[in-house]
């Protein structure tokens, strides 16, 4: 198998079901951002010492392949692996489990006091961008509500894990920050 096919040299690519689309289409932007998120979660996990969180992120990464596959398929039924309501419930369970362990959860914080939390905060922002791309796609084409909910909850999980792994919580004092010079 060759890595290059030359079929995309004119700005188009094939979706999972063989449909040809422009490389900058909302569909490609959506699953491409999910791919970026998946890669960044893998990168972030290399800074995390907590085995339970690393294993959880690995399971999340496999689900992101389902999300990307669903987004990369136009023809109904061609891609059978989809995120399910149970996956959303599992993400909510993670949040419910870790939230009580986090102090100052209702405060604004300056993200990134450790490599692990900084990387997870970047992953969270990529996840939010993916959600925006998927919402734009949903305005024009069919996108599963379950898929959209999963991506939304995932950003909450990434935030929760990042906050849990903060080594030195820097709470934002808006008044002080506003009056300081850059």
Which pLDDT does position 137 carry in this prediction? Answer: 97
pLDDT in tens, 145-162: 999 999 999 999 999 999
Which residue segments constitute the domains of the chain, with CATH numbers given?
12-179 (1.20.1200.10)
Report how far apart, in Å, the C-alpha atoms of 108 and of each of 10, 22, 176 are: 46, 40, 13
Judge if pTM exceeds 0.95. no
- Measured between alpha carbons, how far is 53 from 24 in angstroms, rounded to an integer? 34
Q: Which residues of the chain have pLDDT under 70?
A: 1, 7-9, 104-109, 167-178
Which pLDDT does position 27 carry in this prediction? Answer: 93
pLDDT in tens, 73-99: 988 888 899 999 999 999 999 999 999
């Amino acid at each position: 198998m060759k890595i290059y096919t030359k079929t995309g040299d004119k700005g188009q690519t094939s979706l999972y079901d063989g449909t040809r689309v422009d490389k900058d289409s909302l569909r490609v932007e959506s699953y491409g951002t999910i791919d970026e998120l998946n890669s960044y979660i893998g990168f972030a996990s290399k800074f995390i010492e907590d085995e339970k969180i690393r294993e959880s992120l690995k399971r999340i990464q496999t689900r992101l392949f389902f999300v990307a596959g669903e987004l990369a398929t136009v023809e109904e039924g061609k891609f059978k692996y989809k995120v399910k309501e149970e996956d959303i419930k599992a993400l909510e369970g993670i949040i419910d489990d870790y939230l009580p362990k986090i102090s100052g959860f209702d405060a604004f914080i300056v993200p990134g006091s450790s490599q692990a939390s900084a990387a997870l905060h970047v992953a969270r922002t990529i996840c939010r961008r993916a959600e925006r791309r998927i919402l734009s796609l949903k305005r024009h084409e069919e996108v599963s509500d379950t898929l959209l909910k999963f991506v939304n909850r995932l950003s909450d999980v990434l935030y929760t894990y990042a906050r849990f792994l903060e080594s030195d919580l820097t709470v934002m004092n808006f008044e002080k920050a506003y009056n300081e010079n850059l």
